[in-house]
Structure formats: C-alpha cells, structure tokens
Chains A and B, each alone.
Chain A
C-alpha cells in the first residue's frame, strides 16, 4: 500500500502493466519524453524505452488507427488521447473499426486497445478541455467504458482494462487527478469490471454517480445526514458493463433515486440508467427518478461552475425526491 494521487495511480498502473507484459506499449502525443501533459506517463520512457513508449505525430486517427493495427497483430497498445475533447478525429477508428473488428470478422480479429483520456470540467478548460462525452461510446456495441473516481480504482480498473480482451475506453477525471488521494495496493492490483462500489450505505435514497461527481455526491450525502436523511452513494465505476443488479438492489431498498453526471442531460448516461430503473425497479419507486447533470449547452468557460453539478444541486434533488411518496 502507498498513498498517492489519482494520476499517480494511473502512472503506477501503467508501470505495472508494462513490467508484467512485454506486449504492452503506450502511444500518444507527448507521452514519452514529456511524460504526458498531466504526467500520467511520467518516467515510462526511461524504464521501457522509446520502442514501447511512443511519441506520435499529432493525429488522433493516426494514433488509434495505428493502435488498432498493433492490436490486430497481437500487441496490447494503451493509447492516450490528450483530452477527451480531441478524440473526435479518431471517432471513426473507434466506433467503425475498434468496436466492430471482432464482430465483423466472426471472431477472427479481436482488437484489444485501451484508450485513456482525461475528461471533464472544473479546471477552467472552457469549451474544448472540459467535456464529458462518455455516452457516445456507451452507445456503441463492442466498447467497454470505465471511469475511476479513486486512486485505487484508477490503478485497479486500468490493470483490468489492459488485461481484458475487449476494447476499453478509460476516462480519467482530470479535475480530481491530484485532489483525489488515497491508499493504493502495490503490485498487480485489479478491480473487476461490472461491479459498482458502495461509497456510502443509506436507507432513504440512492445517489448514482461516477468519476469526478463522486466527491460532490458524497458531500451532499454528508449534508443530508445532518438532517436525518440517509443517502446511499453508489459509484458505478464501469458504465459498460453496468452493474445493473447493484443499481436495482439499491433502489429496491431505498425507493428513491438521483442520477448524477456532469455530461449534458439529453441522451446522457443518466437517461439509460433511469430507464433501466424504471423498467426493473418500478414497483419499488416512491418518487420519480431525478437527474442532476450538465446542461444541454456546450461547456462554458466563465460559467463552468454554473454548468457543473455540485453538492448543493445534488442535495436539492435529493430533498425533492424525499418530498414525494
């Protein structure tokens, strides 16, 4: 066990994977000599050399298309997209190629690439360094989507992703890269996909969140507790596969649900989760499900704290669901 930040835990996970398996390699913009603009790949090139820690030219479709070709040949590339906002030049490679290779070849060509990308707002990044667009990828069959919220999960989920056999989108909450700190197990530590984490147990309502929304959700739960409202906070950890059983069980217990994400509301992940709860836990619900999300606008610069859900908005939604039933 060592105490570290979330971004350090990503770095430890990459070191561990590269040590374990010579087929693992890292590629992306500024990931080598510079160690990544957030330092997630710091030191890797010194340890493993420029053959396995590749500074690429500036082309996202080039990075992901190349990673796909490496994976088809049998390597295990971990590609970094510098900000999730810049992934769109590679969107075609991700949704048309990476996600579909195994299926379209009848299983002849599995294509296991891990794509890491810092995502989300709260860092004064404006329109193009703040977005949270996980839903695009969740909507594409063939991609797994993991989003850690703690240092231990960052390392554990990343190692699971690298040892998985399917493509994984690994989105890192850059707002809490350095503020989320905690103990992280040494060595080969893995957190399974599809298992939500109960951050806090509760009786009266369930708050579902992931990534950088876990701290405000926990803060809201603490404030509600002072008024005798017991909120359960569930960190989904992986959106694909989704731990539906945990979500349904929590709502069967509490009867109320608030779904939180910083992505825009319309067709966001909260819409899917709300629909699943409506289909599978309807008769346990005592109040309508509420969503606390970013707004259906582009991500703003000056007004980012208006856009982003915070503890106060989550608390208000929780009190609203408590009014009914």
Chain B
C-alpha cells in the first residue's frame, strides 16, 4: 500500500464494482460520505488553528481517519451504541449529534452537553448513544462488551461498537474485552483504527504480530484488516460485520489501516520521531482526496458540487464557533452537580470565578 513518492493512490473501482460492493444506493452514500468527510476535515483544520491562537485548550484531530468515522456513522443504526476513543467525534455528528452542540463542547461552555467537565474532543451524546469518552486508553473496550451483553439480555437488535487505536491493543481492557466477548459470543464490533502511531511509538514496536486483526484468533474468532482510507472498502466491511452481528455471528475485530495526517494532538511535535517521508506517504492515502478524485473521475461530483460541500462545511463550522464563543462558561455551582445522583455535600461557600 505504501507509495513513498506521495502520489495519490486511486481507488481501484468502476461504478459497477462500487454498486456491487456497497449496494444500489452507492452514489448517494458516497456523496453523503464525501460531505461528512469534508465537514470533519474543515472542523479539524479550523480547530487546530484556534487551538494555536489559544481560543480552545486542546484539540485531537482525526485527519486521515475520516473514512472510518463516516462509514461507521452511515452504516450503524440508531439502536447501535458507540464506545469511542479520542478520534471519533465525527461518528456522533454523522449519527445526528448537532454540530453546534459539539462545538459548545469544544469550547467547554455552559451549553456543552457534558457541562465543560472534559477536555475538548471528549464529547458525550446520549441521544445518539455516543458514550462519554475517557482519556484512559482502552477502558471503553470492556464497556462495549457489557452493553452488548445487556442488548442480548434485553433481546434488543443493537450492536455495540468499540473504537480504539493501535496503541490500545496493548492495554488490559483490549484483552479482557475481546476475551469476554468471545466466550459469551456477543454482538460487538471491535474497531481498531490503526494509524500506525501511538504518539511517538510506531505500531511495529507496539506489537510483534503481522496484523493487529490476527489477535482475534486468540479469542476464538477471526479479524480482518481493511484499507481504512478506501471508503468503499470501509463501508463494505462495516455493512458486512454489522449484518452478521445482527444475525448472531458473535464478535468481530476489524483493523482499519489509516495514516495519522496530523500531530498526535495539539501538544505534540512529530518531527521528533516520524521519518521525513511520512507526510508524503500519508498524503498518498488521504481518504478524502482518494474519494474526491474517484467521484470526479466517474462523474458523480462536479466542481459546483465540490464548492457547495466546502462552503456549507465552512459556514456551519464558522457559525457554530461564533455561537460557542458567545456562550458563557459553566457556573461555578455546576461543579457539584452529577458527582452523585444528589449531592452528598456542597461547600457552604461556592468559589466565584
């Protein structure tokens, strides 16, 4: 898959192939996916800029991961539950969480659905079953297993999806979660977005296995490795495992190979550890450009469409930012809410800010 020259790897499909792989709605699905990917990319670019200006405290971009996130959002149903990591807020947006609410979270305002309790990029969106994320790597993996177990007990038709990175495959809960799911045969999909880095650690030093997907065999099921920058392949993979999960297949592990196209987060300097050709290799696998080029080539997207998507994305991001910047921070008294169902004790004098 690697092309060190940095020239784009075209998606190798004819329209007929694509219909065959992702169904009769392929044209609309891919155009919609493109629109969401542009939104994700626009938001990442804008927020990284604002972070450098000191207007938001932190940002963890998902640039390079868009195909995985958008395909997950488009392929899942309302009754499915998402147990995300740092790079999956776009999944919530595609599943219906309003962008302005998410941007309120990024600015940690009084209208942040999680009341400014967490660093940016840690949303909680219960109306679309996008579970509050922890900064602790890997802990969400067993939560997805528990939710899948609960779905089965309640005879619900949902599937639980746990998202995590390549680094997380070394964490305790990866092993515990994949093992419990295998033993109990649960409707859970483990989605590993292998962006080949865990901050500065290359994936080769994270694990000695040839593919992370093969780890599933240690738990009694099989995993697949998929090019996570090829939206067609990603949609096809999600559609298949979700269908099989609903039919009682038991758990799945999918490893999506992607390229982290930004620093790890706003606090990172990757020039200290990434090879000089990394960015060129990553650009060759840019999921947004790969899709855009393909759509244009087959005539499913013209210049006017492209400009329209770009304009709508930048306007909605701009408006959401303006609204959030005009919203006050949470009140000091709110600190004492939600520790317990009812406060056990509140200091007599709540500090002012």
Residues of A within 8 A of B (CB): 25, 51-52, 56-57, 59, 61-62, 64-75, 77, 89, 92-93, 96-97, 100-110, 141-142, 144, 164-166, 194, 240-241
**CB closest chain-A residue, reference B150:** A73
| Contact A72 B147, beta carbon cutoff 8 Å | yes
Secondary structure of the B contact surface, majority rule:
mixed
**CB closest chain-B residue, reference A100:** B134
**Could you list 20 examples of A-B contacts with CB < 8 Å?**
A57-B176, A61-B172, A62-B173, A64-B142, A65-B141, A66-B145, A73-B150, A75-B154, A92-B172, A93-B139, A93-B173, A103-B117, A103-B338, A106-B113, A106-B115, A108-B113, A110-B341, A142-B340, A164-B341, A165-B340
Which among B143, B172, B338 is the interface contact of A68 at CB below 8 angstroms? B143
Which of B64-72, B177-185, B276-284 lies at the interface with chain A? B177-185
**CB closest chain-A residue, reference B160:** A69
> CA A177 – CA B81 in complex, angstroms?
41
Cβ–Cβ < 8 Å partners of B118 in chain A:
104
> Is B149 an interface position by the 8 A CB rule?
yes
B94-126 with Cβ < 8 A to chain A: 112-115, 117-118, 122, 124-126
Q: A105-B113, A105-B117 are in contact. List 19 more A-B contacts (CB 8 A).
A: A52-B153, A61-B173, A64-B142, A66-B180, A68-B146, A69-B142, A69-B144, A72-B146, A89-B172, A92-B172, A96-B136, A96-B139, A104-B118, A105-B114, A105-B131, A106-B124, A108-B124, A142-B340, A165-B341
| Contact A65 B153, beta carbon cutoff 8 Å | no
3 nearest interchain CB pairs? A69-B146, A65-B142, A62-B176
Contact A72:B131 (CB < 8 A) given known A62-B180, A89-B172: yes
> CA A116 – CA B284 in complex, angstroms?
53
> Is B1 an interface position by the 8 A CB rule?
no
> Is B339 an interface position by the 8 A CB rule?
yes
Contact with A along B190-217 (1 / 0, CB 8 A): 0000000000000000000000000000
Contact A102:B139 (CB < 8 A) given known A69-B146, A70-B150: no
How close is A288's CB to chain B, nearest CB, in angstroms? 26
How close is B120's CB to chain A, nearest CB, in angstroms? 13
Which among A68, A75, A97 is the interface contact of B153 at CB below 8 angstroms? A75
| Contact A102 B114, beta carbon cutoff 8 Å | no
**CB closest chain-B residue, reference A244:** B345
> Is B148 an interface position by the 8 A CB rule?
yes
Cβ–Cβ < 8 Å partners of B180 in chain A:
56-57, 59, 62, 66
| Contact A25 B132, beta carbon cutoff 8 Å | no
Cβ–Cβ < 8 Å partners of B344 in chain A:
194, 240-241
Cβ–Cβ < 8 Å partners of A72 in chain B:
131, 143, 146-147
> CA A59 – CA B175 in complex, angstroms?
10
> CA A109 – CA B147 in complex, angstroms?
13
| Contact A68 B142, beta carbon cutoff 8 Å | yes
Cβ–Cβ < 8 Å partners of A142 in chain B:
339-340
Contact A73:B172 (CB < 8 A) given known A97-B139, A110-B341, A142-B340: no
> CA A89 – CA B125 in complex, angstroms?
29
Cβ–Cβ < 8 Å partners of A59 in chain B:
175-176, 179-180
How close is A273's CB to chain B, nearest CB, in angstroms? 15
> CA A29 – CA B139 in complex, angstroms?
20
> Is B319 an interface position by the 8 A CB rule?
no
Cβ–Cβ < 8 Å partners of B323 in chain A:
none
Cβ–Cβ < 8 Å partners of A100 in chain B:
134
Cβ–Cβ < 8 Å partners of B338 in chain A:
102-103, 105-107
Contact A166:B340 (CB < 8 A) given known A65-B176, A104-B118, A106-B115: yes
| Contact A105 B148, beta carbon cutoff 8 Å | no
Q: Which of A25, A70, A73, A100 is packed against the most chain B CB atoms within 10 Å?
A: A73
How close is B334's CB to chain A, nearest CB, in angstroms? 9
> CA A73 – CA B155 in complex, angstroms?
13
Cβ–Cβ < 8 Å partners of B149 in chain A:
66, 69-70
Q: Which of B147, B175, B179 is packed against the most chain A CB atoms within 10 Å?
A: B147
Contact A109:B131 (CB < 8 A) given known A62-B142, A69-B144: yes
How close is B84's CB to chain A, nearest CB, in angstroms? 12
> CA A240 – CA B151 in complex, angstroms?
32
> CA A141 – CA B340 in complex, angstroms?
8
> CA A59 – CA B132 in complex, angstroms?
24
**CB closest chain-A residue, reference B341:** A165
Contact A57:B81 (CB < 8 A) given known A69-B145, A70-B146, A96-B139: no
Cβ–Cβ < 8 Å partners of A110 in chain B:
341
Cβ–Cβ < 8 Å partners of A57 in chain B:
176, 179-180, 183
| Contact B134 A73, beta carbon cutoff 8 Å | no
Contact A104:B146 (CB < 8 A) given known A61-B173, A62-B176, A144-B340: no
**CB closest chain-A residue, reference B180:** A62
| Contact A66 B146, beta carbon cutoff 8 Å | yes
> Is B337 an interface position by the 8 A CB rule?
yes
| Contact B173 A65, beta carbon cutoff 8 Å | yes
Contact A92:B153 (CB < 8 A) given known A59-B176, A104-B117, A105-B126: no
Cβ–Cβ < 8 Å partners of A164 in chain B:
341
